[in-house]
Amino acid sequence: MSIPVIAIDGPSASGKGTIAAIVAQRLGFHYLDSGAIYRVTAYAALKQKIDLADEPALVELAGRLDLRFDGAEVYLDGRPVGDAIRTEEAGRAASTIAVLPRLREALLARQRAFRQAPGLAADGRDMGTVVFPDARVKVFLTASAEERANRRYKQLIEKGLSANLSRILQDLQERDARDAARTAAPMQHAPDAVLIDTTGMTIAAVVQRVFDLFSQAQGKT
């Protein structure tokens, strides 16, 4: 039997990362934050003064990136990148390069390498559609743009980073529009993914719902 994957997709700040990390921890599964891969690739490109529209140069960069994940920390060339990839600017840069199909392809193997026993919880935009189409459970998380902007605002303030709520809302909406409109692996609610609108739901309730879906799916195999 294949190694089970729980694919959690959805727009920015929908809570995917929080939910996927808790689910992974409780099940003893590995965790993939695929957005971090796009963020750190864009971050490395900016550092190396590579144009974010230069697909061949970005593909080449993706092939030689020295990346390592350890819990929530991402290491680039052996050094922790910390919150430098968590800013809104880094998110915008990530979504700019994420429209490039050959770059996405170049990052596929790195993402699939996270699928290891006993299982994987993965969050992103195309986990259930492209990266792990045979995932045991597919969820599409969403929430109103205002609620998502509020969550992101609180996250940034808690980290001691500067934040502006109306700017965040505008950034989120622009990023969602770009992520949904691109032709390569657009963010979409796939027909085989269960839609969970987390507006007004607690984290515990969403985690429980994902657990229930996973238990049901396990019962079927």
Neighbouring CB atoms inside 10 A of 191's CB total 6
Q: Does 175 bind ligand C5P (CB under 6 A)?
A: yes
Helices (H), 107-202: 108-112, 145-158, 165-181
Which amino acid, one-letter code, is at 33? D
Is residue 39 close enough to count as binding ligand C5P by CB under 6 A? yes
Q: Quick check: 128 binds ligand C5P (CB under 6 A)?
A: no
Among 76-84, 120-128, 137-145, 193-201, which window interacts with ligand C5P (CB under 6 A)?
120-128
Q: Is 179 in the site for ligand C5P (CB under 6 A)?
A: yes
Q: Which of 29, 30, 81, 125 binds ligand C5P (CB under 6 A)?
A: 125
| Interface stretch with ligand C5P, choices 22-30, 88-96, 189-197, 207-215 (CB under 6 A) | 88-96
Number of residues that bind ligand C5P (CB under 6 A): 14
Neighbours of 207 (CB within 10 A): 18
Place of tokens 């979504």: 95
| Residue 15 binds to ligand C5P (criterion: CB under 6 A) | no
Q: How far is the CB of 35 from ligand C5P (least distance, A)?
A: 2
Structure tokens at 101: 């199909």
Yes or no: say if 5 and 130 are a contact pair by the CB < 8 Å rule. no
> φ, ψ for residue 191 (rounded to 5)?
-60, -30
